[in-house]
């Protein structure tokens, strides 16, 4: 005698309202079918049991319907998604994305169809990579979901592993002085001093020209490559003294301007290792500037504008390690004098002058 397959649901009708319901035989959950007609209820009941019995068949039906709307759905691989993601953002961001997409951790899914990818496939990529892999894989996954190249999230948002991030901090004054004292190349020495004084990103500083300095108003202005935000800084005594040692036209650092960001970083890393310094990079100069600005009482609005941060959340992340010592309020002889930075000049006139 043929064995009867256990039904996943049972059908019943409530006398109170006359509606038909299904109950899950495993969990006891009940759900209304929204009808009082027995024939309709039986059809819906059979569909519920069939869906539970044949999930693979249902998935294949969904793929057939999806292929009718997008013929490439079944064959589109992650390499196509990688190409798409690498075209987003500024040129510098695109180059970085292409480098990461070409790394070994992504080899496991590169030629795999997106539609047949499982959560285990993506988690295997995460295990082989680090924080950058986690970041770019998540962006790649979200791109596929947003473009409807898969039926839904392969890994639910709350289940993405949080990578262990290296602690970022600003370079200290002692560390900066050691680097300056031991750097034999005058142009690099001036470049590091320039980073310390204005907190610019390494590429923005390397490509700075003398024409960015208005000698009459004593304002340094430049547009960030990454965010396209404009930065305007009043030239103080230390920066003015440094500028007297730099070219009066063209690039302030001609040889450094010709190097790539990785070459500049590698040179700084060599200097750092020779001095037994750790935990710092060229980007640490931006953190240091933000921290010093917070400790000096610089308003967040001005500090954010000086560094070209489009978001105050990002700026606060840069300045979070600042140690701010506040004077006691009860001391009348020690009145708090608010820091008075140079007021904002008319932004339209500054941009016009900069251009």
Helix, strand or coil, per DSSP, at residue 20: strand
The strand pair at 230-234 and 213-214 is best described as unpaired
Most confident of the following: 150-159, 204-213, 341-350 = 204-213
pLDDT at 3: 43
pLDDT at 347 > cutoff 90: no
Going 224 to 259 to 133 to 280, the CA torsion angle's sign is negative
Q: What CATH code is assigned to 9-53? A: 3.30.160
Span 212-221, mean pLDDT? 90
pLDDT per position as a tens digit, 41-63: 888 888 887 777 665 555 566 56
pLDDT at 1 > cutoff 50: no
pLDDT at 344: 45
Vertex 49: Cα angle to 46 and 53 (nearest 5) = 135
Going 260 to 264 to 270 to 273, the CA torsion angle's sign is negative
Tokens of 340: 């008075």
pLDDT per position as a tens digit, 128-158: 888 888 889 999 999 999 888 887 888 888 8
Would you place residue 323 in the very low, low, confident or very high pLDDT band (cuts 50, 70, 90)? low
pLDDT at 206 > cutoff 90: yes
Residues of the chain with CATH 3.30.160: 9-53
Residues of the chain with CATH 1.10.443.10: 173-324+343-354
Q: What is the DSSP string of 82-148?
A: HHHHTTSS-HHHHHHHHHHHTSGGGGGTTTSBGGG--HHHHHHHHHHS-HHHHHHHHHHHHHHHHTT
Of 236 and 318, the one with more pLDDT: 236
Task: Classify domain 173-324+343-354 by CATH architecture.
Answer: Orthogonal Bundle (1.10)
pLDDT at 56: 53
Of 52 and 191, the one with more pLDDT: 191
Span 101-117, mean pLDDT? 90
pLDDT at 350 > cutoff 60: no
* pTM exceeds 0.85: no
Span 151-167, mean pLDDT? 79
Window from 15-19, 26-30, 49-53 with minimum mean pLDDT: 49-53
pLDDT at 240: 93
Would you place residue 26 in the very low, low, confident or very high pLDDT band (cuts 50, 70, 90)? confident
């Amino acid at each position: 005698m043929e064995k009867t397959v256990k039904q996943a649901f049972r059908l019943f009708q409530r006398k109170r309202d006359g509606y038909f319901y299904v109950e899950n035989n495993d969990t006891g959950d009940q759900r209304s079918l929204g009808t009082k007609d027995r024939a309709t209820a039986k059809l819906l009941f059979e569909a519920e049991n069939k869906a539970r019995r044949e999930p693979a068949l249902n998935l294949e039906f969904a793929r057939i319907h999806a292929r009718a709307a997008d013929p490439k759905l079944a064959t589109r691989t992650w390499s196509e998604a990688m190409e798409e993601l690498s075209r987003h953002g500024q040129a510098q961001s695109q180059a970085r994305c292409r480098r990461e997409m070409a790394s070994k951790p992504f080899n496991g899914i590169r030629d795999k169809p997106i539609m047949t990818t499982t959560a285990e496939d993506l988690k295997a990529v995460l295990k082989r990579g680090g924080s950058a892999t986690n970041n770019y894989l998540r962006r790649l996954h979200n791109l596929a979901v947003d473009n409807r190249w898969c039926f839904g999230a392969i890994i639910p948002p709350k289940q993405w592993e949080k990578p262990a991030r290296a602690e970022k901090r600003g370079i200290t004054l002692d560390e900066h002085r050691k680097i300056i004292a031991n750097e034999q190349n005058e142009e690099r020495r001036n470049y590091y001093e320039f980073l310390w004084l204005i907190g610019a990103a390494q590429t923005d500083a390397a490509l700075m020209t003398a024409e960015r300095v208005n000698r009459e108003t004593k304002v340094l202005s430049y547009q960030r490559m990454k965010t396209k935000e404009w930065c305007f800084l009043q030239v103080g005594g230390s920066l003015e003294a440094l500028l007297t040692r730099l070219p009066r036209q063209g690039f302030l650092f001609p040889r450094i301007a010709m190097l790539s960001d990785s070459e500049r970083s590698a040179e700084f890393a060599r200097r750092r290792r020779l001095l037994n310094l750790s935990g710092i990079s060229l980007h640490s100069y931006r953190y240091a500037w933000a921290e010093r600005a917070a400790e000096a009482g610089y308003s967040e609005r001005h500090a954010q504008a000086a560094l070209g941060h489009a978001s105050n959340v990002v700026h606060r992340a840069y300045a979070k390690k600042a140690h701010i010592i506040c004077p006691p309020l009860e001391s009348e002889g020690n009145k708090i004098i608010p820091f008075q930075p140079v007021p904002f000049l008319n932004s339209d006139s500054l941009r016009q002058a900069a251009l």
